[in-house]
Amino acid sequence: MGMLINGTWIDDDAAHRHAADGAFVRPDANFTARVTADGSSGFKAEPGRYHLFVSAGCPWAHRTILTRRLKNLEDVISISFSDLPRVRSWAFSTGIGRNLEPKEGVLELHRVYTAAMPAYTGRVTVPTLWDKQRWTIVNNDSADIMRMLNTAFDEWGDRTVDLYPAHLRAEIDEINQRVYENVNNGVYRCGFARSQAAYEEAFARLFETLDWLDERLASSRYLCGERITEADWRLYVTLVRFDIAYYSNFKCNRQHLHEYPNLSNYLRELYQWPGIAQVTDFETIKRVYFSIKDVNPSGLIPIGPRDLRLTGPHDRGRLPSWA
């Protein structure tokens, strides 16, 4: 995949991606500043000031794309979607001005990282939140960016939507951790494992957690009860990729997601939530996952599945909801 070392791109990063036992390791993000409503962090929330670099294929980026939509911030925070094949890092046909315009038609994301920090060492990932005023990266962690979008821009966004309400925070954090380790990142730990033992361990934890979630959702409309929260949207981005990408390409094939009675109905409700289908891009999801040469060397993109079963009626109305 490649990464930056002291500001220089290197293609062979194998030594940085796996632990000695063959397990896939996802490094922490490196830019950790926050946008705040009052600007006390040095990054004040303002319309038109911030820009998101994303790929519609990536589940981490998807978290931020859908929060931007749910909070009605699409005119407040600009965005570029990676729309060209990766040469080295994520590639964009459009730029944002100054030294971040396309060269020979391409703006590669690692140029954004070295524009912020010329000697940067680390991965070059989406989502990345850019400050057009200070001309630097604010943050490249999707969980942090989601939280910022949830509150910092409320002067312009929809303040009636709160994905991280104070009284549910402890429960949300607990669920997030279990879902992150075993499901969000669990599918990657299946797909990118380099030993049979590491794969089998990740596979067991993934399906054990999906079984637990399916059971929980039998009597609870959303993960934390009657109210939809960020825990649901963080799970959504993985569930919606499951049958189309993870089941086959990442060998997560004990069963399809649509075979789970509660998870499948829950997924249908979330997919049909106002605005969400419009920011769920199956063609790009397929293209991005099946272009990962490590797991699919031919790069061929499968034609199916024909029907993801997301548009029909769901049965979630039988459970009480807050709204």
Minimum distance of ligand GSH from residue 79's CB (angstroms):
15
Nearer to ligand GSH among residue 29 and residue 190 (C-beta): 29
Integer Cα distance of 236 and 74 in angstroms: 20
Residue ranges in 42-61 that form contacts with ligand GSH under rule CB under 6 A = 58, 60
Q: Is 141 in the site for ligand GSH (CB under 6 A)?
A: yes
Integer Cα distance of 79 and 229 in angstroms: 23
Q: Is 243 in the site for ligand GSH (CB under 6 A)?
A: no
Q: What are phi and psi of 139, to 5 degrees?
A: -160, 145
Q: Which two tokens stand for residue 301?
A: 């993109």
Contact map string, positions 106 to 125, toward ligand GSH, x by CB under 6 A: -----------------xxx
Among 29, 77, 137, 187, binds ligand GSH (CB under 6 A): 29
CA atoms within 13 A on the CB side of 63: 29
Catalytic residues: 58, 188
Q: Are 57 and 132 in contact (CB under 8 A)?
A: no
Integer Cα distance of 58 and 292 in angstroms: 12
Q: Is 1 in the site for ligand GSH (CB under 6 A)?
A: yes
Q: Which two tokens stand for residue 4?
A: 């930056």
Nearer to ligand GSH among residue 13 and residue 211 (C-beta): 13
| H or E element in which residue 8 lies | strand 8-10
Minimum distance of ligand GSH from residue 311's CB (angstroms):
25
Q: What are phi and psi of 38, to 5 degrees?
A: -95, -5
Q: Are 203 and 255 in contact (CB under 8 A)?
A: no
Q: Is 292 in the site for ligand GSH (CB under 6 A)?
A: no
**Which range of residues in 39-47, 140-148, 159-167, 209-217 is near ligand GSH by CB under 6 A?**
140-148
Nearer to ligand GSH among residue 1 and residue 295 (C-beta): 1
Nearer to ligand GSH among residue 123 and residue 268 (C-beta): 123
Q: Is 142 in the site for ligand GSH (CB under 6 A)?
A: yes
Nearer to ligand GSH among residue 124 and residue 224 (C-beta): 124
Binding site for ligand GSH (CB under 6 A): 1, 3, 29, 58, 60, 123-127, 141-143
